[in-house]
Chains A and B, each alone.
Chain A
Amino acid sequence: MSPKDISRRKFIKNLGGGVVGAGVAIQTLSAKTRKESKPPSKSDSAVALTFTVNKKPITLLVEPESTLADVLRNDLKLTGTKVVCNHGECGACTVLLDGRAVYSCHMLALDAQGKSVTTIEGLMDGEKLHPVQEAFVEHDGLQCGFCTPGQVMAAEAILIKNPKPGKEEIIEGMSGNLCRCAAYPNILKSAVAAAEKLNKS
């Protein structure tokens, strides 16, 4: 193919790296996610994974190439964790690994061997919402809600590290979570309110 045959369309379709705006990246990459989801049958190559998910010890067989998000969603049916870009670019799949925020779509499930994973489902206390979740409800920290589990987990990670974060620290800590609805002002308000809530209780 000669350089001039590259139409703009083709160009955008093939764009993997994150140099253009998030909107474009998310739109193109979600097609990839669909292509990659596979039936849950296990082949001979499956390996045992033992880890803790939401405080419960779990052992299961996983394919080495499964991402942590695949295993959480497809095997453990913890579908609160969302996969949007599947490329470590948007934060929708954020979970806590030993208390730190990570992108579950962009790491292998086997990397969680022996570790502790917390998903959005793990924040609830029975039917009672976690203070961070409450704050998002009270301050309308969402529009379509698709990025919300990731936003909540990112906020929780900030509070685990520092129960009294400043606003700058919150902005910085949430910077790996994109929101396609651009609900950013209320997301920030919710995260700030969550910090205040935790410090009151």
Chain B
Amino acid sequence: MQFSYIQPTSIEEVFKLGSAAPLYAGGTDLIGLMKDDIIKTDKVINIKKLKGLDKIEDKGNKGIEIGPLVKIADLIENETIQEKCPLLVQTAKEIASPQLRNMGTVGGNICQRPRCWYYRGDFDCIRKGGDTCYAVGGENKYHCIIGGGPCFIVHPSDLAVALLALDAKIEITSENGQKTVPVNDFFILPEDDETKENILEPGEIVTKIILPEQAKGFKTTYIKFKERSSWDFAVVSVAAVLKTDGNMIKNGKLAFGGVAPHPWMEAEINQKLTGLNTDEASVDAFTSSLFHNAEPMEKNEYKVILARNLVKRIIDNLA
């Protein structure tokens, strides 16, 4: 890798630089991509010196605003987040390793590129502008079971899964102004564009992550299934926000990581949660209906069962 390092201090300066260079926040993803020649560039725009984007602000009933440059470790240590959104703390603790959490940012976490090993290797696959997905008929144990085609990645971000279950919004700023979109509309499927994972266009910057005020009385948790206890990406993960009443779930939401090219939530699944009895038979009936519409690849059918069992575990623990 060889490039120049540009360090703007205001967002206007970033816009003036044009849209040709990658934004560099913590760099924990971008450096890996550059070392492996997956991203080639003659300059990087370090955004760490942009003012005001590294704060967490409690806006009362307008929710909590998280700057994209907040480090994952600082999110975990933040008292407002600890008090008002333990789910985010629990999720952030599951990310990577202590060192990477000291380096990586919240914005970089949701904008990180996929971990498909063909994408990260010397393969000119569809996501790199080629015409073949090597995961089809290849090593697809860690690929998606739903929402795939023509590319079959899973989205690697842990935070994005929790943010989806929390109904968070993403503020995007460009030269032309600002817009705020729900997390669900931020991420896209390969069928919409197989070369990127979200709606960001060159020249657009994530400037805020907005957590709406959380309704009282909900229990939350994040379960991440990984293959070893040191750092690892999720094989399947589930973020849950549930309200229970005796042995009944009043309502709630389940968001899934590791199953689809973007963090995955289904209205149908959440509707079935409403009024669900927590006796074993009802829970079994519910969980065995999950992902009945999945289209697993040759080597990843196990993820359907894994996702169902994680949900069962969550309901057993929370309800």
- Kindly identify, within residues 1 to 28 of chain A, every residue whose CB is under 8 Å from any CB belonging to chain B: 1-4, 6, 11, 13-19, 21-22
- Kindly identify, within residues 100 to 137 of chain B, every residue whose CB is under 8 Å from any CB belonging to chain A: 100, 102-103, 115-118, 120-123, 132, 134, 136-137
Tell me the bound Cα distance from A87 to B97 in angstroms.
13
Tell me the bound Cα distance from A103 to B7 in angstroms.
21
Determine if B46 is an interface residue (Cβ-Cβ < 8 Å). Answer: yes
Tell me the bound Cα distance from A17 to B235 in angstroms.
13
- Contacts of A11 on B, CB cut-off 8 Å? 117, 121, 138-139
- Kindly identify, within residues 115 to 172 of chain B, every residue whose CB is under 8 Å from any CB belonging to chain A: 115-118, 120-123, 132, 134, 136-139, 142
Report, as a range, how many residues of chain A touch the other chain: 35 or more
Determine if B98 is an interface residue (Cβ-Cβ < 8 Å). Answer: yes
Q: Which of B5, B36, B121, B142 contacts A110 (CB 8 A)?
A: B5
The 8 A CB mask of A136-166 against B (1 = contact, 0 = none) is 0000000000000000001001000000000
Tell me the bound Cα distance from A173 to B228 in angstroms.
16
Determine if B233 is an interface residue (Cβ-Cβ < 8 Å). Answer: yes
The 8 A CB mask of A53-86 against B (1 = contact, 0 = none) is 0000000000111010000000000000000001
Q: Is the CB of B98 within 8 A of A101?
A: yes
Q: Is the CB of B103 within 8 A of A108?
A: no
- Contacts of B138 on A, CB cut-off 8 Å? 3, 6, 11
Least CB separation from B100: chain A residue: A88
Q: Is the CB of B27 within 8 A of A108?
A: yes
Q: Is the CB of A18 within 8 A of B233?
A: yes
Identify whether the interface residues of B are mostly helix, strand, loop, or mixed. loop
Q: Is the CB of A18 within 8 A of B98?
A: no
Tell me the bound Cα distance from A13 to B117 in angstroms.
10
Least CB separation from B96: chain A residue: A176
Determine if A32 is an interface residue (Cβ-Cβ < 8 Å). Answer: yes
The 8 A CB mask of A91-131 against B (1 = contact, 0 = none) is 10010010011110011101100000000000000000000
Tell me the bound Cα distance from A16 to B98 in angstroms.
20
Would you list the 3 A-B pairs with minimal beta carbon distance, nearest first? A176-B97, A14-B121, A64-B5
A-B contacts, 10 of them at CB < 8 A, read: A4-B137, A6-B134, A14-B117, A16-B120, A17-B117, A18-B232, A19-B232, A65-B34, A102-B102, A176-B231
Residues of A at the B interface (CB closer than 8 Å) are 1-4, 6, 11, 13-19, 21-22, 32, 36, 45, 47, 63-65, 67, 86-89, 91, 94, 97, 100-103, 106-108, 110-111, 154, 157, 172-173, 175-178
